Amino acid sequence: DTAVSQTPKYLVTQMGNDKSIKCEQNLGHDTMYWYKQDSKKFLKIMFSYNNKELIINETVPNRFSPKSPDKAHLNLHINSLELGDSAVYFCATGPTGAREQFFGPGTRLTVL
């Protein structure tokens, strides 16, 4: 069983489109995160959810909207995609307070 899964693994789309990335975890953790890793390999946190509530929202354009339907899922919806959104997006989970994290395999987004 995959502990943290993301779909899709690859996403190629045109500028201006709206797309979603899904994340599911079966570790029973309370906290879930979204990260963006750009072409320079810098891994930057975007959002953090604890028990379905938004905890951290870094300076991310409001075109990005996370949705947590339940503790096991944290989806990322992106509106009006731009070239600069091309990156690998990682979902991660962790137990509350411990701050260690377990990452999904990543979604490689390419905006043309």
- Binding test (CB under 8 A) with other proteins, winner from 43, 63, 82, 112: 43
How many residues of this chain interact with other proteins, rule: CB under 8 A?
A: 20
Report the Cα–Cα distance between both ends of the chain, in Å, rounded: 34
48 near other proteins, judged by CB under 8 A: yes
Of the pair 14, 99, the CB lying nearest other proteins is at: 99
Residues 6+ apart with CB under 8 A from 45: 33, 34, 35, 56, 58
1 near other proteins, judged by CB under 8 A: no
- Binding test (CB under 8 A) with other proteins, winner from 25, 104, 109, 111: 104
Site residues (vs other proteins, CB under 8 A): 33, 35, 40-45, 48, 56, 90, 98-106
